[in-house]
Amino acid sequence: MQEPCQPDCRRFITSVLVPDRVGLLRDVTRAVFSLEGNIGSIRQTVIDGFFNLVFTSEHPRQVSPETLRALLDSTLESDAVVTVLDSPEIKPPVVPTGSRFVTMTRGKDKPGTIFAITSFLVEHGVNIEDWMVEEEDGRVVYIAQVVVPEAVDFRMIQERFREAMAKLGLTGLLCHENIFRATNEIGPIKSLIGK
Amino acid sequence: MLARQAVLSTIRMVREENLDVRAVTLGINLNVCANPDPDKLVKAVYERIVEKAGSLVRFCNEVSDKYGLPIVNKRIAVSPASILLEGHTVETAVKLCQALDAAAEAVKIDLLGGFSALVQKGITPGERTLIESLPQALTATRRVCSSFNVGTTKAGINVDAVKLIARKVIETAEASRAARGFGCAKIVVFANMPEDNPFMAGAMLGPGEPECVINVGVSGPGVVKRAVDRLVQLDPEATLDEIAEEIKHTAFRVTRTGELIGREVADRLGIPFGVVDLSLAPTPRVGDSVGEIYQSMGVRLIGAPGTTAAVMLLNDAVKKGGAFASSAVGGLSGAFIPVMEDHALSKAVTDGTLTLEKLEAMTAVCSVGLDMILLPGNTKAETVAGIILDESAIGITSRKTTGVRVIPVPGAKPGEFVDFGGLFGAGVVTQSASPEGAEVFVNRGGHIPAPIHSMMN
């Protein structure tokens, strides 16, 4: 998380969507640098051949969001979709705090599955922090990192999630993220207990 | 943020490869219950176990749900009961065993270990009382397991203790004749017995351990078998070092899982966490067999030349993966080869490819011992004693644990099928190529001195 913006600076949040090619991230960051920008948070993925980038940057006050967008538009391909928003302050998250769990849903790929999963999670106050999709043996696997509010009985959600997914012909699983940390990281297990 | 492959591989281990935690065992020291009054003694023992273990099953179930991972067995290991029996009679020993049984039932666990004595150098009156009580105590109870340490690399082997215990094994078999000698399935005789073993029938809370502690036994062999199967499917020409590497990586994950579960249960109980025991403990279920791992490696007929090397490879790879995963590795941490509890081993004995002598060789390369082996009804105490002495000799010379759990089946002949049901499994009665002929040697008694390499200081 970035510190609050300096009085003589402005912070933007920018998203870029464009068919992938070599050098895109360099081109974007060169544009930001040329406007004396400093990148804070950044996340880049490629989905079905589309380069997808979200980042925040701080610039001198005289730089406007329109200036940055115009520069990126001229730097990138004509079919690139660029959005730059003014982000003057860091707002505290409005999502609940709680324990981090992972949901896994596996089954036949069909329309409405993600909607069903996300609807279930919303109904139970569970916030999605990350979402991944994988194909495995002809089946689609949705993996979500979620936060289950402290006040909620995770065993109840676990059971209901399993049942709700089973009604859709899917296998649903909800378990605490520490099992994945324990099996894939090398730090002491002791450090995971109580988190 | 978790990596996609990390999540997928762990989920695959849980959903498809039977990743679980095989045993969460609560150790409880009972020495504070010592009392010259037999009634006060057994009452104190019962109450202490119920007080300390009352929440064990509930906490295990909560942790199991939290991680979506089964905890197969929840158990208790107490400090050696022989300590409580100094100055008491056999009758009190039986009452004590019944109190342990009742306490185990009250806290909803299936097995409790620690009706035990450490007699590697000598036998105290209390220890003798406990040993003498075995036939009666183990047939009057269902959940209590008994174990003995008859030798160590430092002390040598107490042959007098071996003779006495062997005689009681025969008497226990006879006392449980109606159950085909099942009482003996709850007796294990060790050399170099570990003090923090979470697995039955040898679990006990040894001297030097905390007042209460949680020890954990890692997942069963199914997850390792599937890892080897997957490797061989991807690369049918996989070499043995590649198989060892695959097992090592799997053992790392399995060990970390065990430690996570154990530490969380210990945390909830407010007691220390002890060790993760890396032993792969099979059950009679297909897909949950140590023998199947050897078959996956390419040992088509278990017992064929090469089997002992396969045992060694498996043990070593599991230990290397486990040792990197955790600084709290302990217990037995060796491959179990309990014949009746492992359908592939049991079948190999039935088919005649796996003999008692080959099993003994396998125990020399770090499997834990001759375990769950059915013997004919006419087996003599001297034969049982000889088997224990041979295994102990391997253990103390190799500076490792070895154990013997044999069941002479009253009235049964070699080749006869016996089924104990449940986790104890089934198999056929087998015997040594030469079951008799060492009686004079065994009956000399006394003490086999410690090997020269015991003098390490």
Look up the ipTM and state it: 0.85
Q: Do B66 and A154 touch (CB under 8 A)?
A: yes
Q: Do A183 and B10 touch (CB under 8 A)?
A: yes
Q: Name which of B22, B14, B171 is nearest B110 in CA terms.
A: B22
pLDDT digits (tens, 9 = 90+) for A32-85: 999 999 999 899 999 889 999 999 999 999 999 999 999 999 999 999 999 999
pLDDT digits (tens, 9 = 90+) for A102-159: 999 999 988 889 999 999 999 999 999 989 888 888 889 999 999 999 888 889 999 9
Residue A195 has a pLDDT of 62
Q: What is the mean pLDDT of chain A?
A: 90
Burial zone of A86 (CB within 10 Å; 0-12 exposed, 13-18 middle, 19+ buried): exposed
Query: Measured between CB atoms, which of A145, A155, A189 is closest to B263?
Result: A189
Taking the C-alpha atoms of residue B334 and residue B217, their distance in angstroms, rounded to an integer, is 11
B36: tokens are 């010259």
Residue A4 has a pLDDT of 65
B82 in Cβ contact with B111 (< 8 Å): no
Q: Do A143 and B8 touch (CB under 8 A)?
A: yes
pLDDT digits (tens, 9 = 90+) for B88-116: 999 999 999 999 999 999 999 999 999 99
Looking at the complex, report in whole angstroms how far the Cα of residue B273 sits from the nearest Cα belonging to chain A.
Answer: 10
Q: Chain B partners of A178 at a C-beta cutoff of 8 Å?
A: 67, 260
CB pairs under 8 A between A and B: 83
Burial zone of B247 (CB within 10 Å; 0-12 exposed, 13-18 middle, 19+ buried): buried
Q: List the CATH code of the domain at A98-192.
A: 3.30.70.260
CA contacts within 13 A on the Cβ side of B390: 20
Residues pairing with A171 in the sheet: A106
What band does A169 get if pLDDT is binned at 50, 70 and 90?
very high
Chain B residues interacting with chain A (CB cutoff of 8 angstroms) = 1-4, 6-11, 13-15, 62, 65-69, 253, 256-257, 259-260, 263-264, 267, 324, 326-327
Residue B246 has a pLDDT of 96
Q: Do A183 and B256 touch (CB under 8 A)?
A: yes
Going from the C-alpha of B67 to that of each of A146, A150, A155, B20, B90, the distances in angstroms are: 14, 16, 11, 10, 45
A57 in Cβ contact with A86 (< 8 Å): no
Reduced to 3 DSSP states, what percent helix, strand and coil does chain A have, rounded to the nearest 5? 30, 40, 30
Among B4, B5, B7, the strongest candidate for a mutation testing the A interface, having the largest count of A CBs within 10 A, is B7
Q: Do B326 and A102 touch (CB under 8 A)?
A: no
Q: Chain B partners of A192 at a C-beta cutoff of 8 Å?
A: 260
CA contacts within 13 A on the Cβ side of A110: 7
pLDDT digit string (tens) for chain B, length 457 residues:
677 788 888 888 887 788 899 999 999 999 999 999 999 999 999 999 999 999 999 999 999 999 999 999 999 999 999 999 999 999 999 999 999 999 999 999 999 999 999 999 999 999 999 999 999 999 999 999 999 999 999 999 999 999 999 999 999 999 999 999 999 999 999 999 999 999 999 999 999 999 999 999 998 899 999 999 999 999 999 999 999 999 999 999 999 999 999 999 999 999 999 999 999 999 998 888 999 999 999 999 999 999 999 999 999 999 999 999 999 999 999 889 999 999 999 999 999 999 999 999 999 998 889 999 999 999 999 999 999 999 999 999 999 999 999 999 999 999 999 999 988 999 999 999 999 999 999 999 999 999 999 888 8
What's the CA dihedral at A132, A136, A140, A143 to 10 degrees? Answer: -30
What's the mean pLDDT in A4-12? Answer: 82
Taking the C-alpha atoms of residue A123 and residue A120, their distance in angstroms, rounded to an integer, is 5
Q: Do B326 and A175 touch (CB under 8 A)?
A: no
Taking the C-alpha atoms of residue B418 and residue B412, their distance in angstroms, rounded to an integer, is 9
Residues contacting B135, CB < 8 A, separation 6+: B168, B171, B172, B174, B175, B183
Domain with CATH 3.30.70.260 in chain A: 9-86, 98-192
What band does A88 get if pLDDT is binned at 50, 70 and 90?
low
B341: tokens are 């509890």
Burial zone of B214 (CB within 10 Å; 0-12 exposed, 13-18 middle, 19+ buried): buried
Residue B209 has a pLDDT of 95
Query: Would you give the DSSP letter of residue B338?
Result: B
Residue B287 has a pLDDT of 86
B217 in Cβ contact with B331 (< 8 Å): yes
Q: Where are the alpha helices (DSSP H) in A63-129?
A: 65-75, 113-123
pTM of the model: 0.89
Residue A6 above 80 pLDDT? no
Residue A2 has a pLDDT of 54
Query: Measured between CB atoms, which of A141, A182, A193 is closest to B8?
Result: A141
Q: Do B66 and A175 touch (CB under 8 A)?
A: yes
Query: Measured between CB atoms, which of A154, A179, A186 is closest to B69?
Result: A179
Homologous superfamily of A9-86 = ACT domain (3.30.70.260)
Q: Chain A partners of B10 at a C-beta cutoff of 8 Å?
A: 179-180, 183-184
Q: Taking every pair of C-alpha atoms in chain A, what is the biggest distance, in angstroms?
A: 56
Q: Chain A partners of B256 at a C-beta cutoff of 8 Å?
A: 182-183, 189
